[in-house]
Amino acid sequence: MEDKLILSIESSCDETAAAVVKNGREVLSNIIATQIETHKVYGGVVPEVASRIHIEVIDKVVKEALEKAGVSLKDIDAIGVTYGPGLVGALLVGLQYGKGLAYSSKKPLVGVNHIEGHISANYIEHKDLKPPFVSLVVSGGHTFIVYVKDYGEYEVIGQTRDDAAGEAYDKVARAIGLGYPGGPKIDKLAKEGNEDAIKFPRANFHDDSLDFSFSGLKSSVLNYLNQCKMKDIEINKADVAASFQKAVIDVLTQNVLKTCKEKGVNKIAIAGGVASNSSLRKTLIDVAGKEGIKVLFPSPVLCTDNAAMIGSAAYFNLMKGKVSPFNLNAKPNLKL
């Protein structure tokens, strides 16, 4: 089959990114301009600021992606772009840029769901990965267990009913003074703490659902910190980090394993920013390994937001004839 080159664009949150991906699996370039330093000052992403920075850098990022891949626009077969979910103003920047590029160069436009992008990062990392498999998508904005039936065919098995896993990491990190983004900092600090030091709650639903809830856990951590302050007890941040992290990982692991059993699947592909968490990786590999289930994850640069993952998802969409119209709009609450 003829090679297909996708130029992909991602701007759903605080990373402006562009990539060139060959046949959905081979990354020729993957340029990421992160805004983390700007948003750090505010303790989280400020949507209006994010949109403005996307506008300032997108042209440069896309040109750099083509240059680094050693190709020009005429070599590209389709333009893939994230159109949701995410911050509407941020999404619009990448989407309008991608639409303009596709329209003027007469190339197909392929709208990509950001969550589908995260899952597809695994196709890049694991060249022979094929559906069916179970995916655990854990990021700053999303927590999903997805049964991937086929390329582009998804069944959502469980999701968060309130905060996303990464959001809980960020909020707890902020409460113990670690700064934004909190995930990597808690990951590091937790290594020095005792995960059994503090008993934080694990939310379980009584309706057999495999959904998650992290807001109770977050409140429980905040309560614990307040109690310590009131009683003048010194807080061991490493123990808080480790005990909180254990609570998150326990429920993620438990629900994803249940899904594998229900679906008779022996492959888990984790995805999203939190998928780079060292303890989540280790625990899943240990626990799933005992059940004969293989755990796959992308390298850290493909876990957090990037455009290569969008290029991979766009390729599989294109192969199924899923091309988008030029009136495609940004959908901040797009479902999988």
Q: Would you tell me which residues interact with ligand KG4 (CB under 6 A)?
A: 13, 139-141, 166, 169-170, 181-184, 187, 272-274, 276-277, 304-305
Give min distance, CB of 297 to Zn ion, in A.
15
276 binds, among ligand KG4, Zn ion, none (CB under 5 to 8 A by kind): ligand KG4
Ligand-binding annotation for 138, yes or no, is: yes
Instruction: List, edge to edge, every strand of the sheet that includes 15-22.
Output: 26-34, 15-22, 5-10, 78-84, 109-113
Q: Which amino acid is at 58?
A: I
Angle between helices 165-175 and 237-263 (to 10 degrees): 170
Tell me, residue by residue from 256 to 295, as one string, x for binding to Zn ion by CB under 5 A and - for no binding. ----------------------------------------
What's the CA gap between 270 and 240, in Å, rounded? 25
Ligand-binding annotation for 89, yes or no, is: no
Ligand-binding annotation for 14, yes or no, is: no
Which range of residues in 60-68, 150-158, 201-209, 299-307 is near Zn ion by CB under 5 A?
Answer: 299-307
What's the CA gap between 120 and 110, in Å, rounded? 15
Among 20, 22, 34, 25, which Cα is nearest to 68's? Answer: 20
Instruction: Please give the backbone phi and psi of residue 10, each rounded to the nearest 5 degrees, phi first.
Output: -135, 130
169 binds, among ligand KG4, Zn ion, none (CB under 5 to 8 A by kind): ligand KG4
CB 107 within 8 A of CB 77: yes
Give min distance, CB of 92 to ligand KG4, in A.
17
Cα dist from 156 to 128, 222, 232, whole Å: 23, 31, 45
Q: Which is nearer to ligand KG4, 66 or 89 (CB)?
A: 89
| Number of C-beta neighbours around residue 216 at 10 A | 15
Among 185, 194, 142, which Cα is nearest to 303's? Answer: 142
Give min distance, CB of 189 to ligand KG4, in A.
11
Is 305 a binding residue for Zn ion by CB under 5 A? The answer is: yes
| Number of C-beta neighbours around residue 21 at 10 A | 31
117 binds, among Zn ion, ligand KG4, none (CB under 5 to 8 A by kind): none
Ligand-binding annotation for 150, yes or no, is: no
Positions in 137-196 near Zn ion (CB under 5 A): 139
Q: Which is nearer to ligand KG4, 101 or 139 (CB)?
A: 139
CB 149 within 8 A of CB 155: yes
Is 10 a binding residue for Zn ion by CB under 5 A? The answer is: no
DSSP element (H, E) containing 113: strand 109-113
277 binds, among ligand KG4, Zn ion, none (CB under 5 to 8 A by kind): ligand KG4
239 binds, among Zn ion, ligand KG4, none (CB under 5 to 8 A by kind): none
Tokens of 12: 């759903």
Q: Which is nearer to Zn ion, 51 or 139 (CB)?
A: 139
Ligand-binding annotation for 110, yes or no, is: no
CB 7 within 8 A of CB 80: yes
Q: Residues marked as binding for Fe cation?
A: 114, 118, 305
Binding site for Zn ion (CB under 5 A): 139, 305
